[in-house]
Structure 1
């Protein structure tokens, strides 16, 4: 007995949503497994929570990668909020990574396409981090947590005394940090994508 195209499409969509939910949960957990890095102030932590979203973007498409970023931050907003600014910026940064990475791989489904997509996505995310942090994250933190901007800049100057002003700090520190974060997610994705491919594509 043949299966109708509509039922096949429904099953594929249901599987994709199930995988998306699973990856969103993993991504949320990974947000809490953060760690400091020596070239950044202590309040900036490294994590690999975009890794599940990148797996979704490559296996299911860019929209599903963005969905993982959205669901992860919505859960985080409900449980432990950073005045909403952290979640908003985290989502926008993740989306700016997943969209180009997933779109490039969708148009060029090869290892080279995946590498190019991940590189472009990481660069875009790093560039987007500058205006997002300058206009949203840091102004909200200053108001919500009462941390003077001079104190924040002073933490950057403790690492590199020559930097002056928030914008220069973001260009000198945060953009490279975000790029490294994206590249780390990409490397880990390439290491585990093939073993996880049957599960991601519903072949188990």
Structure 2
């Protein structure tokens, strides 16, 4: 199998794992039960670290398109769009920074940057895209409560949990799947 085919197969497998993980979602903030938590961004982050940020976006996109085909939508596509936007906001900055120079420091800084980006994208996309698309209107107080007690905590938890699990898994899977150093790329890598 050539390198390109191998890469496509691995991205497809990561997408399939992401779809399965997307099925295991649950609310963690009682007041905002529609804000669901799942680990489906972990395969996308692994793909972004191993193959670059475009692979992370592809995994996020495939996960959400295929979940629509398999499961359908209960939110008029708003939930799937939100999942794609938040997941991409998390994995792209992390993958971009790490893929440029693969070392432990860039991995950690990238994940922190991704955590900041998911918060910014979460707030802006909810105010200007997602809430209007879902026909939810909120006065300023309700909106601030939603952002402060709903969006910020769920996106923060998602960012931290995804980053920690990715850090642990990538370290173990890097040689077998991504042909990278087993010490989480503490030395610069130029191939792939």
The bucket for the TM-score relative to the shorter chain is 0.7 to 0.9
Question: Is the contact made by 2:32 and 2:150 (CA closer than 8 Å) also made in structure 1?
Answer: no
Partner of 2:158: 181
Partner of 1:108: 101
Q: Tell which deviates more after alignment, 61-70 or 87-96.
A: 87-96
Question: Is the contact made by 1:25 and 1:72 (CA closer than 8 Å) also made in structure 2?
Answer: yes
Partner of 1:166: 143
Residue number among 114, 133, 157 corresponding to 2:126 in the alignment: 133
Distance 2:56 2:177 in 1: 12
Question: Is the contact made by 1:51 and 1:186 (CA closer than 8 Å) also made in structure 2?
Answer: yes
Tell me by how many angstroms 1:38 deviates: 4.1
Q: Deviations over 1:64-114 (max 9, x none)?
A: 011100100110122312312221221122222222111110223111110
Q: Tell which deviates more after alignment, 77-86 or 176-185.
A: 77-86
Distance 2:10 2:77 in 1: 26
Alignment of 1:1-204 (within 5 A): 11-38=2-29, 40-79=31-70, 80-81=72-73, 82-142=75-135, 149=137, 164-201=141-178
Residue aligned with 1:165, SS? helix
Distance 1:66 1:72 in 2: 10
Residue aligned with 1:179, SS? helix
Task: Give the TM-score, by structure 1 length.
Answer: 0.78
Question: Is the contact made by 2:29 and 2:150 (CA closer than 8 Å) also made in structure 1?
Answer: no
Looking at CA atoms only, which structure, 1 or 2, has the larger radius of gyration?
1
Aligned pairs, number: 178
Unmatched 5+ residue regions in structure 1?
1-9, 143-147, 154-162
Task: Give the TM-score, by structure 2 length.
Answer: 0.83
Distance 2:69 2:28 in 1: 27
Question: Is the contact made by 1:54 and 1:65 (CA closer than 8 Å) also made in structure 2?
Answer: yes
Kindly report the root-mean-square deviation, in angstroms, between the aligned alpha carbons of the 2 structures. Answer: 2.2
Distance 1:40 1:102 in 2: 33
Partner of 2:184: none
Question: Is the contact made by 1:126 and 1:176 (CA closer than 8 Å) also made in structure 2?
Answer: no
